[in-house]
Amino acid sequence: MSLNKTSTPFETKLKAVKAYLRTGQSLRKVAGDFGVPYATLGFWVKRYQKGGIDSLKARKVQKRKVSKATEVTVMLLKEQNPALNIDAAQRALKKQGTTISNNGIWQIWKRYGITKRSMHEQIHTLGPATPESKHAIAQAKTLIREKNFRAAARVLNAVPCLSEGTILKQIPEKLLSPRRRLDRLPLEFGTIPFPDFRNKARRIGVLLEKEGFVYSSIFANFLELFALQNMGKPKEQKCVLDQIEKKLCGVKDSILWFHFYAHAVLAYYDALEIHQAFAYLRKCRRLLHRLPAPNYWDLMSALLGTMGYHKEAHMYAERAFRNVKDPAIKARLALRIAIFGLLAKGDYNEAKKMLSKAANVKHKQGLNALFCLGHAFVAFGQGNLVDATKFFRESLEKSYKGELYNRLYATSVGLASVAMALNKKAEASAHLRKYLPLMKKHNLQRELVSLRFLLRDERSFPEGMDQMPAFHLFNLLARAQETGAVGDYRTAVVFAHRHNLIGLLHRMIVFLPESVVHVLERGKQTGLPRALLRFPVFNQAVPVYHVKLLGDVTISKNQQHIRSHLRPKDRAFVTHLALRACASNRSILLDDLYRNFWIESSKPVDRLLHLLARIKSQLKIPRHLLTISSTAREPRLSNRGVYFTTDYNEFEILLTQAKSLERAGEWHFAKRDYIKAFALLRGRPFEKMYDPWSEDMRNAILNKVENDGVHFVKRCLESNNKKEARTVLDKVGRVITDSLDVNKLSDEIKT
């Protein structure tokens, strides 16, 4: 939504012409390399051959002034009838007794920003910088410094078109005209919740139409579509698309139509009207030949990636990345290449490098959550379930109100894939089923179908979905699961390679593990990385321990309770291990352990060895999976293949989900997650554990329990829901007995 230059620099023109004359390549090829229409390049070549270098330089045109009234009349002709061309406008003006040249009409429309724009610009309402607009902005800045906002607004409202809109953010919105409000609105994209942005865009569009600015109202409609797309509202998108299509009837503008078709693809895809989505995608492909510019390669990449055509999406994203210089745009494109290209392809090392180039987006609404999701996919593909869980949770924490439902879907599937990798099928099913009612409530059909398919509640996709690569891969994997045939599994793997979907296969295969187990049992190659084959879901011999530490410590192995008689220090050590070295390749420095558990001992090594022997015996941990590495520069206790999970991890995830739902206004669903989180409290954590690390963790957990518990109870009391407030407060009160806030709320509930 930023303004780029509107005319091609002389140096670029000269380079393009010389490249064409020197290489002998076609006009289309050279024009594509320089991002200009081939007809324009042909015009430059003719001028150069006829008049030399000077003919390519911009020529000053003597402008003939027209009255302000005539200018407004010419502008309104286009605003009220977007399909009007210059010849038709001239005929209409002649009937009114006004004579003006074609160039004069075009110059007026250009001043007001209502002409066809350069393909190198983003879709926006700003226009070229003119002496008039520069003077107005300078004058407005002076008035703003004097706190005379009303006068500054009058100056800016009178300008036909602004070249940049940042100054508008310093003026109260109510003082601005609808046209200036439209200029200001893109600056708020990503800074306010999407529903608020959508409502603003709709109100501005209505005001513009009432004042006869139909052409400008199209841009307000497009901004509304941007918000609805991020909110996952296909039904509302289609309504706005209908409005735009009526206004664009007869308009010959490839740029506006490309954006229209692009939004239509996404809306109909989300509504599962697949055939219609494909029809609009074909129209985008045809128009793209007229728009050889990074803006449109970027947008085409997004469309193809969303539809599951990751190979082609990667190609367009890389083409755009090579041809832009703006660091912010390059960072966004790097994120797209990582998500739609490298991660889909399963190239995790390259994806990690590309995500480092996209680091600038991690603080931007709409992109920061996707950035975390990318890191979660990298971690999962490399077998790092701990970091995958952390990044899935961060993705949800950084999601905003409007985009939350899409992120809830992504994180619930992500957390379910982690649970499945750990062979916790019941937990994975709970993650997938948890938000089915929420998806149904908001009519997120695509997400509903995907969740039901992963749950195996549905065995086939709606008509048309199977022709999309990602969903076709799901079907192939499901068939391999049902038949157990090695050939069917290989067909799925070959298809995934052909369509750059290996990364998706890695994330989905844990939901259909029998297909891999059948191949392994026959001694055949699975095509999966070793890191994934070490997951407990594929290797039942890998132990998975669950440590409940939010109360008396209890331990289970592979979902079977272990009757152990651990000493207090042993229990402290197990919880320490479960939270700090909870998966393969994780380790703890021996010096850290010595300082924490045996700071006064003269032989801490012997004590550690005896403790490890007891724990391995009690918990039945294979010797080789928990070892002391003394070859490294700093000796460590290394985890060689044991997985530990804790109820504290569950507690954190539930609170993150609850807070995200609360931000979205879904208190009914948020309340359930809060209650489930506090139900995990069975007593004071780390009871009778007096080592420094345990005491610090106890204080951190109790502080979190107190803050979130008090917050939940206050929210319940606001809605006069004392029963659930009392239930949670009793839980929190038993764990934290000396909290003033908790005691105060207890007294309030009793009265």
> What CATH number corresponds to the domain at position 550?
1.10.10.10
Rg (CA), the chain: 31
Question: Is 318 within a domain?
Answer: no
**Residues near 410 by Cβ (< 8 Å), separated by ≥ 6?**
373, 392, 395
Tell me what the mean pLDDT of segment 669-697 comes to: 91
Among 107, 5, 13, residue whose Cα is nearest residue 55: 13
Whether 580 and 638 share a structural domain: yes
pLDDT value of residue 287:
92
As a whole number of angstroms, the distance between CA 599 and CA 591 comes to 9
CA distances from 357 to 180, 327, 338, 500, 551 (A): 35, 10, 10, 22, 44
- Looking at the predicted structure, is the pLDDT value of residue 30 above 70? yes
- Residues 738, 663, single domain; the answer is yes
Instruction: State residue 401's pLDDT score.
Output: 59
**What mean pLDDT comes out for the span 445-466?**
81
Please tell me the pTM assigned to this model. 0.80
Task: Kindly state whether residues 47 and 89 are assigned to the same domain.
Answer: no
Same domain, residue pair 601 and 576: yes
682 is in which domain, residue-wise? 648-750
Give mean pLDDT, residues 367-378. 90
Q: Is 660 part of a structural domain of the chain?
A: yes
Q: Based on the fold, state whether residues 560 and 637 are members of the same structural domain.
A: yes
* In a domain? residue 137: no
Residue 655 in domain: yes
Other beta carbons within 10 angstroms of residue 68's beta carbon come to 9
Residues 601 and 665 in one domain: no
Whether residue 653 is found in the same domain as residue 745: yes
Q: What's the mean pLDDT in 566-580?
A: 92
- CB environment 447-465: b (16+ within 10 A), e (fewer): bbbbbbbbeeeeeebeebb
CB atoms within 10 A of CB 641: 18
Give me the pLDDT at residue 120, please.
66
Which pLDDT tens digit goes with each residue over 32-79? 888 788 778 888 888 888 777 777 776 554 455 678 888 889 999 999
261: pLDDT strictly greater than 90: yes
The answer to whether position 127 is within a domain reads no
* Cα(564)–Cα(628) distance, integer angstroms: 23
- Region for 724 from its dihedrals, namely left if φ exceeds 0, alpha if ψ lies in -120 to 50, beta otherwise: alpha
Give tens-digit pLDDT for 96-151. Answer: 888 888 888 888 888 888 887 777 666 777 777 778 888 889 999 999 999 999 99
Query: Residue 487: which residues within 8 A CB-CB, separation 6 or more?
Result: none
Cα–Cα distance for residue pair 222/216, rounded to 1 Å: 10
For 160-184, the pLDDT digits (tens) are 888 888 899 999 999 999 999 999 9
Residue 643 has a pLDDT of 95
CB 217 within 8 A of CB 185: no
pLDDT band for 446, please (50, 70, 90 cuts).
confident
3 pLDDT exceeds 50?
Answer: no
Among 463-472, 638-647, 711-720, the minimum mean pLDDT is found in 463-472
Domain for residue 489, yes or no?
Answer: no
What strands, in cross-sheet order, belong to the sheet with 560-561? 560-561, 554-557, 544-548, 643-646
- The per-residue pLDDT for 7 is 63
Question: Which residue among 646, 662, 678 closes a domain?
Answer: 646
Contact status, residue 395 vs residue 369, Cβ threshold 8 Å: yes
* Domains: count for the chain: 4
The confidence score (pLDDT) of residue 171 equals 93
Residue 692: predicted pLDDT: 92
Number of Cβ atoms within 10 Å of the Cβ of 564 = 18
The CA distance from 617 to 698, in Å, is: 27
- Does the pLDDT at position 342 exceed 60? yes
User: 629 pairs with which residues across the strands?
Assistant: 636
What pLDDT is stored for residue 747 in this prediction? 80
Let me know whether 719 and 674 are in one domain. yes
pLDDT band at 366, cuts 50/70/90?
low
401 within domain boundaries: no
Asked whether the beta carbons of 128 and 6 are under 8 A apart, the reply is yes
Domain-terminating residue out of 646, 678, 707: 646
Q: What is the mean pLDDT of the chain?
A: 88
Beta bridge partners of 554: 548
Amino acid at 115: T
What single-letter amino acid sits at 5? K
Same domain, 549 and 598: yes
Same domain, 654 and 732: yes
pLDDT score of 698: 92
**Quick one: 599 and 652 in the same domain?**
no
d(Cα 441, Cα 714) in Å, to the nearest integer? 27
The residues, any chain, with a CB within 8 Å of residue 406's CB and separated by 6 or more, are 230, 232, 444, 447
- The DSSP H or E segment spanning 646 is strand 643-646
With a CB cutoff of 8 Å and minimum separation 6, the contacts of 47 are: 55, 56
Q: 551-564: per-residue pLDDT in tens?
A: 999 999 998 999 88
How large is the average pLDDT for residues 186-202?
Answer: 87
pLDDT higher than 70, residue 659? yes
- What pLDDT, on a 0 to 100 scale, did the predictor assign at position 400? 67
Is the domain of 679 the same as that of 718? Answer: yes
Would residue 479 count as lying in a domain? no
Q: What is the mean pLDDT of residues 318-346?
A: 90
Count of beta carbons in the 10 Å neighbourhood of residue 57: 11
Strand pairing report for 643-646 and 544-548: parallel
Domain end residue (candidates: 585, 612, 646): 646
Q: Which pLDDT tens digit goes with each residue over 5-20? A: 346 788 888 888 888 8
The Cα 107–Cα 221 span in angstroms is: 25
Check pLDDT > 80 for residue 495. Answer: yes
Residue with tokens 């229990």: 571
